[in-house]
Amino acid sequence: MKDRFDLFILIGIGVSLLSFVFALWLNHWVKSRPSSNERIAQIGKLIRNGANTFIRKEYIVLARFAGVVALLILLFVPQPIWKGDYLRNIIMAVSYIGGTVFSAVAGVIGIRVATIANMKTAEAAQTGIRPSFLTGFRGGSVMGMAVVGSTLLGVSLVMLITNDTTALLGFSFGASSLALFAKAGGGIFTKTADVSADLVGKVELGIPEDDPRNPAVIADNVGDNVGDVAGMGADLFDSNVASITAALVIAAALDSSAGGLAHASMVLCYAAAGLLASIIGVGLARMGKRSGPTGALNLSTYITTAIFGVLTAAATWAFDFEWRIWGASAVGLLVGVVIGLASDYFTNDLRKPVRNVAKASGSGPAFTILSGVSYGFLSTLPAMAGIAVSALAAYKLCAPLGDGYAMFGISMAAVGMLSIVGMIISNDAYGPIVDNARGLVEMGGLGEEALEISDSLDSAGNTVKAITKGFAIGAAGLTVIALLGAFISEVNTHAAKLGVEGITGFDIMNPVVFFGMLVGAAVPAVFSALLILGVDRNAQRMVAEIHRQFREIIGLREGKEGVVPEYDRCIEIATHGALRELIPAGLIAIGATLAVGFIGGVQAIGGFLCGNIISGLLLALFMSNAGGLWDNAKKYVEAGNLGGKGSQAHKSAVVGDTVGDPFKDTAGPSINTQITVVSLVSSLAAALFLAYSLF
Amino acid sequence: MKDRFDLFILIGIGVSLLSFVFALWLNHWVKSRPSSNERIAQIGKLIRNGANTFIRKEYIVLARFAGVVALLILLFVPQPIWKGDYLRNIIMAVSYIGGTVFSAVAGVIGIRVATIANMKTAEAAQTGIRPSFLTGFRGGSVMGMAVVGSTLLGVSLVMLITNDTTALLGFSFGASSLALFAKAGGGIFTKTADVSADLVGKVELGIPEDDPRNPAVIADNVGDNVGDVAGMGADLFDSNVASITAALVIAAALDSSAGGLAHASMVLCYAAAGLLASIIGVGLARMGKRSGPTGALNLSTYITTAIFGVLTAAATWAFDFEWRIWGASAVGLLVGVVIGLASDYFTNDLRKPVRNVAKASGSGPAFTILSGVSYGFLSTLPAMAGIAVSALAAYKLCAPLGDGYAMFGISMAAVGMLSIVGMIISNDAYGPIVDNARGLVEMGGLGEEALEISDSLDSAGNTVKAITKGFAIGAAGLTVIALLGAFISEVNTHAAKLGVEGITGFDIMNPVVFFGMLVGAAVPAVFSALLILGVDRNAQRMVAEIHRQFREIIGLREGKEGVVPEYDRCIEIATHGALRELIPAGLIAIGATLAVGFIGGVQAIGGFLCGNIISGLLLALFMSNAGGLWDNAKKYVEAGNLGGKGSQAHKSAVVGDTVGDPFKDTAGPSINTQITVVSLVSSLAAALFLAYSLF
């Protein structure tokens, strides 16, 4: 049995190397697309340099942060180092650093190719919609392949070297602490730039959206890349690693009681199958002669889903895995699709919610907000119920297999839901690429036809984004439920070593659990509030800088030939501010976890995680969907409905969109990461909570 | 021991009768205040008639609803009637009707005196601030005494007649189903009228706020009474009954194992002490020569708190109750005060949050919303942590007494927090009375000095409201935790009868529990969304009616002598619409409970209630505090800060206030009631869920 696990580790490494080779080929393909327009090259270079500036700054801060955390891990995790067994502490610290490095590398790759693919996609629009679509999609796919390849490679290597699932938790924590920076920091960055550029440019000076005189305009375009490409990639890398980690931790507990490593093998096998399915799906994806770009994106998702189902069924048959667990992972995948479709309903401008909000906007901005908040609240039900049902179905399917299988089934449902994440990221990264490309087509003056093509590609990106976002939140929900199971496994492992009693669960009626639950539920709200207030404060700083440039740089306002604003200053402010504003939010989340753990012990932490998951999912779904809805309501009005641009409905819809921006691009998606970080901190500090707690 | 319980029932009945006598005296005192101004009498009569119209219509719908529910209870609760023991079903149905009737009577009394006290308070303002304050406060106190007297009388009578805590659950369900109508229905009513009157009057026609030509203006004033007086009273009646019920159910379980009725006696004794303390506190309340009205209101609250502490300590000493449980109820009361102060911090215009939101408003309405949402989110932490800490402290104090005492301690903390509810309601009902009085002073032309006096009384009402609202939500939080304990007791009672295994708790790691938790967490969001959308739709209907009147009633727009609008039509629309829009929200909450119970059984219901409590508290705190904050930010700007009326900051702040109105007066406070209703439905249907569930 042990041999077979090694076999699956080798398969995992093999498939991940295959995905890197494929990513290299895609990268080469994108780079070899023709380019000739000088204006596009010039603006594209500004965006590229800006993104690099951000990445450099971010990684300096990150390196310091990761250094401090690694030191703390070295000293205290899994146990204070002076209690002996210092080798385990070293392994944990190194695994942690490994997680941050793998995530960072995947992010850099994604940004690099995205800031080339945007130009190539823009120029390809001159030759037709199909080549332009393919360029954008393959640009995004490089990120998809790199992220999922890194996940599988990293997890396989940690298991190969340490054969210790606790070390894997360290690796996962590295991934999620980087994701916290990348997603929340990127989110603050992009919305700071977006809001400031609009406030001074459009509102105060009345210059167009992408006017190069505006010092914040490049920061705004950079923001799309660092928020949506790098941030989203880090977020899904984090979720993906966490889901596999949780499944492996639970599998280890099952395997240790059953002997052998059959369940751990199954996890790696399914993860490899998911990556393989994504590689095939991405390879096959192209726009048919009759289908639109939305259809093409969705079709490739469905194809990938089907391939995953077939591959895992074949593997289950060939390696004699339990069919019931296959069923759980299939249920997870299906429910993921359903949740995505529900998100789509609430944010699609062909449906009632967006239209009603647009209509309500005619009575003033208060009604835009009230109706948008209402639909945002409503949108939480199908997703919450979907996660609930998939957890229940996985349980029902797997509980008959024996003790502990129910939770393993849930963790495999999460793995199933995240199996096609390579495809999801490709679709998601396609969005900012074609968004950037649309701007470049306009600024480069490529003509009306190219503009129409890139418009239609861009709009497909927005539609698909809603589906993938719902998918990501759903997957995070299942993953953190599984992480709760992993937490119990960790606690029991340490309890056995310390010679104290282990735990089997957390009773709601235990007031210590309830205490943790109430505090845990408040954390995502506080976390979101700090991020939104951070965008607010940071935008004020950037607005001051834009005013200064217009005042001090002679000829800028008039658009004198050769006078350019200091784009880099704005990028620096956005970067610095983003990283500065992020820190209190991150510290509150981690600090609350440690406080609850040291006060109430592991029982309080169980409640804390549960409360955190529930309110986190609720708020994440609410903010993401309400934000997407307001964005599309504004676009719907701008398309000429209800009076079009300049009408009362439009003014109100713009207010809704501005409120929705930090909801959907800063706070909402960062909550995912916050939940994962808190779950992993709990697992890592489990031994400490067991040994040193007040209650 | 049994005799002693009878003694406490008699004490309960005695103290409640005392409070009714006191209420009659207060009512007589208020009515005997001098009045002479004809214009005030005329407008006051319109408001009074409008409130009566609403009450009449509401009670017709209510009677039908209660009839259907009573029939269902008769047929199915606690068990299908054809399973024998039909006497118990009859007792349940009668208790249920009793709960609705007691609550309704208290509401009618409150409305009647409030719509007289407003006129008397207005006229008293001519003679000075102290008599005017006393008139307003004593008007509100009639409601306070009536509500708490009804609570104690009702509970005592049910126990005297049936000696069955399950019947008490039926009584409590009657109270909370009426509260659902009164609070959510009243909330939709008042905001429909408010929003419509402003939209047509202020925005479209540019006439002043309280202009009698506006057909919706009386509906608006009626709304203050039906929403804030009757609705709030029903809400606190509901919480108060529920907290005593939960404590008695848990006490019954303790007593049945220990023999005797010592714990049940203690609950009744503490409830009676709370009412007595409120009677004394209300009796002593007056404005000192140097203190302002806010100080006077807060001082009487503190005095009542102290009297309660002394009375219960004396009773604990005299009757030999456990001191640890006295400690739990004292902790509950103290934490209630702390939560109130935290709410005050976030909504007081002397503090940072309100000022920052007002400042952000200078950049546009989107920033008003974003900063208000952020502070609203932040405001949830102290209250959630406060409830968590009080539950934990009650547990720590009482757990050493033995099995089951921890939950009894928590229920007594809730009783403690709600002990001074007579005072709280008096303070709260004071608000709309002086608010109405201020309008009457202005419309009656009582002069500048009287206006200043009533302004200062009104502003004290707003400040105190924030504190009492925080108090009410905190108390609801503890009460529903105790109701969860009551649910377990119910399940076990029925399980013993059915010969199946009972339960001791709900394990988070049980996927059935988690399933319930996720669905339960989504319910308050959906419930709020439906209420807010209801206000939206209803306001559209009323706006159409106002347009019709201005079009068809000749001379109305010009203000021709003797031409009056059809005020009653607007009141009817608000009433009808409110009751119609409320129904889907109520059905969703009850329907989801039944669905989860019949799918997942009692374990799923445990999770459902827990998820419901957590997300309900979170959203209620968020919406109440954000709404209060926006209201005060607008007032702060209107007081001449940041450019004052007409500035950008003012326009934005008005948008914030409009969004906040249904947040704080419709959805936020109704969530309390929703949680209680769902908890009670669960307890009542416990036997059904035990017998007929899918899992």
Q: Given a cut of 70, is residue A2 above it in pLDDT?
A: no
* A1 band by pLDDT with thresholds 50, 70 and 90: very low
SS3 B50: helix
Question: What tens digit of pLDDT does each residue of B301-357 get?
Answer: 889 999 999 999 999 999 888 899 999 999 988 888 888 888 889 988 889 999 999
Peptide bond connecting B78 to the previous residue in cis, omega within 30 degrees of 0:
yes
Q: What is the mean pLDDT of the segment spanning B640-663?
A: 91
How far apart are the C-alpha atoms of A510 and B481, rounded to whole Å? Answer: 11
Q: What average pLDDT does range B59-74 have in this prediction?
A: 89
| Distance, CA of B136 to CA of B121 (rounded, Å) | 5
What lies within 8 Å, CB to CB, of B230 at 6+ separation is B55, B107, B108, B110, B111, B182, B186
Nearest in space to B324 (alpha carbons), one of B255, B239, B408, B216: B408
Q: Number of A to B CB contacts under 8 A, please give it.
A: 233
Nearest to A437 by CA among A420, A451, A425, A421: A451
Burial of B598 (0-12, 13-18, 19+ CB in 10 A): middle
Provide, as residue numbers in chain A, all residues whose Cβ is less than 8 Å from the Cβ of B361. none
CB contact under 8 A, A385 and B522: yes
Q: Do A484 and B509 touch (CB under 8 A)?
A: yes
Across B266-291, average pLDDT? 90
Q: Is A507 helix (H, G, I), strand (E, B) or coil?
A: strand
Residues of A in contact with B517 (CB under 8 A): 388, 610, 614
**What is the least distance, in Å, from the CA of A507 to any CA of chain B?**
4
Query: Each residue of A262-282: pLDDT tens digit?
Result: 889 999 999 999 999 999 999
CB contact under 8 A, A515 and B617: no
pLDDT of residue A31: 93
| CB within 8 Å: A659 and B371 | no
Interaxial angle between packed helices B86-124 and B448-498, expressed in degrees from 0 to 180 and rounded to the nearest 10: 170
Chain B residues whose CB is inside 8 A of the A533 CB are 371, 374
Over residues A33-47, the pLDDT tens digits come to 988 888 889 888 988
Place of tokens 């408040």: A522
Cβ atoms of B410 and B388 closer than 8 Å: no
Contact (CB, 8 A) for A142 and A109: yes
Rounded alpha-carbon distances, angstroms, from residue A298 to A232, A305, A341, B21, B495: 19, 11, 11, 72, 51
The total of other beta-carbon atoms located within 10 Å of residue B356's CB is 18
Q: Which phi and psi (to 5°) does residue A79 adopt?
A: -145, 160
Residue A394: Cβ within 10 Å count = 34
Contact A522 B655 (CB under 8 A): no
Q: Is the pLDDT of residue B467 over 80?
A: no
Predicted interface score ipTM higher than 0.95 = no
Spatial distance between the Cα atoms of B576 and B150, rounded to a whole number of angstroms: 28
If you average pLDDT over every residue of chain A, what do you get?
Answer: 89
Per-residue pLDDT for A356 more than 90? Answer: yes
Q: What is the mean pLDDT of residues A453-468?
A: 81
- The tokens for B553 are 């009633």
Structure-token pair, residue A133 = 């679509």
Nearest to B383 by CA among B185, B180, B177, B668: B668
Distance (Å) of CA B525 to CA B228, B522, B531 = 22, 5, 10
Q: How does pLDDT run across A635-693, given as a tens digit for each residue?
A: 899 889 999 888 889 999 999 999 999 998 899 889 988 999 999 999 889 889 988 88
Q: Which two tokens mark B135?
A: 């008139």
Q: Which two tokens stand for residue A514?
A: 């309830």
Q: Report chain B's mean pLDDT, rounded to a whole number.
A: 89
Q: Which of B506, B518, B655 is the closest to A508 by Cβ?
A: B506
Q: What was the pLDDT predicted at B521?
A: 96
Q: Which of A67-76, A212-221, B522-531, B568-577 has the highest mean pLDDT?
A: B522-531
Q: Give the distance from residue B630's alpha carbon to the nearest chain A alpha carbon, in angstroms.
A: 12
What percent of chain A clears pLDDT 90, i.e. is strictly above it? 42
Q: Which residue of B has its CA nearest to A623?
A: B373
* Interchain CB distance below 8 Å, A518 and B655: no
d(CA B646, CA B665): 26
Closest Cα of chain A to B407: distance in Å? Answer: 8
Q: Are A529 and B378 in contact (CB under 8 A)?
A: yes
Say yes or no for a CB contact (<8 Å) between B509 and A378: no
| Complete DSSP assignment for B456-515 | HHHHHHHHHHHHHHHHHHHHHHHHHHHHHHHHHHHHHHHHHHHT-------BTTSHHHHH
Residues of chain A with C-beta less than 8 angstroms from the C-beta of B406: 511
Tokens encoding A227 = 């928020």
CA dihedral A605, A607, A613, A618 (to 10 degrees): -140
Band of residue A320 on the pLDDT scale cut at 50, 70, 90? confident
Shortest CA distance to B473 belongs to which of B524, B510, B435? Answer: B524
- Among A305, A159, A150, A166, residue whose Cα is nearest residue A236: A150
* Nearby residues of A195 by Cβ (< 8 Å), 6 or more positions away: A535, A539, A658, A661
Sequence-distant (6+) residues with CB within 8 A of B60 are none
Averaged pLDDT, B453-475: 81
Q: Do residues A171 and A96 touch, judged by C-beta distance below 8 A? A: yes
Q: Chain B: give the shortest CA distance to residue A597, in Å.
A: 14
Q: Scanning every residue of chain A, which has its alpha carbon at the shortest distance from the alpha carbon of B395?
A: A511
Nearest to B420 by CA among B296, B280, B277: B277
